[in-house]
Chains A and B, each alone.
Chain A
Amino acid sequence: MTTLLLSLPVALPLLAALLAVAAARQAAGLAMATGFLVLGLSVWLAFEVAALGPITIALGGWEAPLGIVLRADGLGAGFLVVSAMVMAVVLVAAQPSFEDQGQESRAGFAFWPLALLLFAGLNTAFLSRDLFNLFVALELLTLSAIALVAIGGKADAVTAALRYMVFALLGSVLFLLGAALAYAAHATLDIGLLSQVEPGWPMAAALALMTMGLAIKTALFPFHAWLPPAHAGAPAPASAMLSALVPKASFVILLRLWFDLAPELASPLLLAVLGGLGAVAVIHGSLLAIGQDRLKLIIAYSTVAQLGYLFLVFPLAGGAGAAQPWSAGAWTAASFHAFAHMLAKASMFLAAGLFLRAVGHDRLEGLRGLARAMPIACFAFGLSAISLMGLPLSGGFTAKYLLLTSAFASGQWGWGLVLVAGGLLAAIYLFRPLNLMFSKEGAAASLTPVPRWEQVLPLLLALAAVLLGLFSAGPFAFLQIGRPGAAAEGLLP
């Protein structure tokens, strides 16, 4: 049973993607059904992991090093559940934009298989323990993401997709080179087996190459230039997937490399560099977001900033710090932050898509007084903003609180300053659209009406982001399952 639970989240979306090409008329329904089926399976898997601890399966009975091993620990299963949640809602929200265009249009035909392929790549990245398998998962994910950026076919979108492609190709070849070096030195690609060998300089070089490749794919500063135009240029449901889900896969792999594969190679300097680049991304991304005049670009630059927070986990919990009492807090905080960002950012992009449809453009001026015409979508946007700013009782707050606690407990209070500054800057760049939306005056005359059920979808995701903060004890304990090098007692929230 557990074999099926682990392999179906990978196999089902792949199968559905093939079927969606063959039976284009049923593609939309098929994609939705797959989304909810995988969500159900992931929740089931999470309960199994909570009851039994990490679950490892060897596909087809072939054990590593020859076979490919899938493993669900707290981290992998947690990301699986939240990403399936986002995916299921986004696939439902995509129905009106893509189904009406019919099978004749390229976008209407291609969206569903591409979204399903992206889903398969994502789930593989969360569950896989084999460096080459992770490479294939990343490629599947990135190539479908690039195709989704270009799906509209406009010159701007194609340019953004090609810029994304240039960065992504470089990132993937660096990762592959690293994996090849690791294999040449130790004759295995399994992370579990590699973590048991004594790492020498070939492993250090391999990790350096892979880290560089993954940092490019996660759009860490200074490799972020491709992200905002690509995420803002795609159709809204695609943007939601790209911004909320895609960068998290490469981030999870980075966590596996530095916490699981070779934590002893993580020198304080390296950890400080990764954390420092993350801190620069927080400040730089937020400042650029403040300067934007289009809603989708603000949300996209905000992603650059929010991804930066994730990298603070390296100085706070990495290397020798993994055995310290505060590391459990920092480790969970990074995952919490990723979850809260996935939910809130998908909700924001879906809401922005609805505003765009209602107003006809996404310049900020068009948002004036929109809250009276579309109260539910505006409320969803506001709730997501609360989580992104890290205001109390939201998932974003819990994440930042945990990061702050571990920053002070470890004596690295400088990272705490970044957290506070980032929260303030987020409040500034989100205040402008919110202020316009909820302003008293403004012409809401010539709006295209948007059905109420479509406005409820972003609200569901935003509520989930807030609930994550209210009920954080369960996920906190869950994420510790199978945490590499965990200390016995962690700081509790």
Chain B
Amino acid sequence: MIPSATLFGLAGAALVGIGLYGFLAHAHLLRRLLSFNVLGSGVFLMFGAAAWRSPILGADAVPHALIITGIVVKLAGSALAIALLVQLARATRRAALPEDEGRPP
């Protein structure tokens, strides 16, 4: 049987892969931002899984504190990105970068 920490780590790695694919493949900036959030959640999940030490020691608390800080940072970044995106859509009626026009959304 696979230990649960390994399972969480693998799930995190899968999320990183899915998120990275979406981030690079899409043109629509909202999709890219959502993909980035999936990618970031994958990183946090992996980080949390890495905190597991042993049944006796339990989990290391430092990564948990770091993950919370990381979530706050990611939230701030996403908020700024959304604000810029709304501004772009208002000004140009577009939601993709000019060089990505014509790519599938």
Q: Which residues of A are interface residues toward B (Cβ below 8 A)?
A: 66, 132, 135-136, 139, 143, 146-147, 150, 153-155, 158-159, 161-163, 165-166, 169-170, 172-173, 176-177, 180-181, 183-184, 187
Contacts and interface: CB of A to CB of B under 8 A. Distances in A.
6 nearest CB pairs, A to B: A184-B50, A155-B91, A180-B47, A139-B73, A158-B88, A158-B87
Given A66-B62, A136-B69, A139-B77, A165 B84 contact: yes
6 contacts: A132-B66, A158-B91, A161-B84, A169-B77, A170-B23, A180-B43
A176 B70 contact: yes
A165 B46 CA distance: 24
A150 B43 CA distance: 28
Interface size classification for chain B: 20 to 34
A143 to B, nearest CB: 6
Contacts of A150: 84, 87
A135 B62 CA distance: 15
B97 A169 contact: no
Contacts of B29: 162, 166
B69 A183 contact: no
Interface string B68-97: 011001001100110011011001100001
B22 interface: no
Contacts of A132: 66, 69
Contacts of A155: 88, 91-92
A187 B29 CA distance: 36
Given A150-B84, A183-B50, A159 B23 contact: no
Contacts of B23: 169-170
A427 B70 CA distance: 44
Given A132-B69, A162-B97, A143 B80 contact: yes
Nearest to B88: A158
Nearest to A154: B91
Q: Select the residue from B23, B32, B60, B73 with max chain A CB neighbours within 10 A.
A: B73
B40 A173 contact: yes
Contacts of A161: 84
A180 B50 contact: yes
A159 B32 contact: no
Contacts of A165: 77, 80-81, 84
Contacts of B60: 187
Q: Select the residue from A66, A146, A169 with max chain B CB neighbours within 10 A.
A: A169
B45 to A, nearest CB: 10
Nearest to B89: A158
Contacts of B39: 173
A491 B94 CA distance: 56
A184 B62 CA distance: 11
B81 A162 contact: yes
Interface in B34-78: 36, 39-40, 43, 46-47, 50, 60, 62-63, 66, 69-70, 73, 76-77
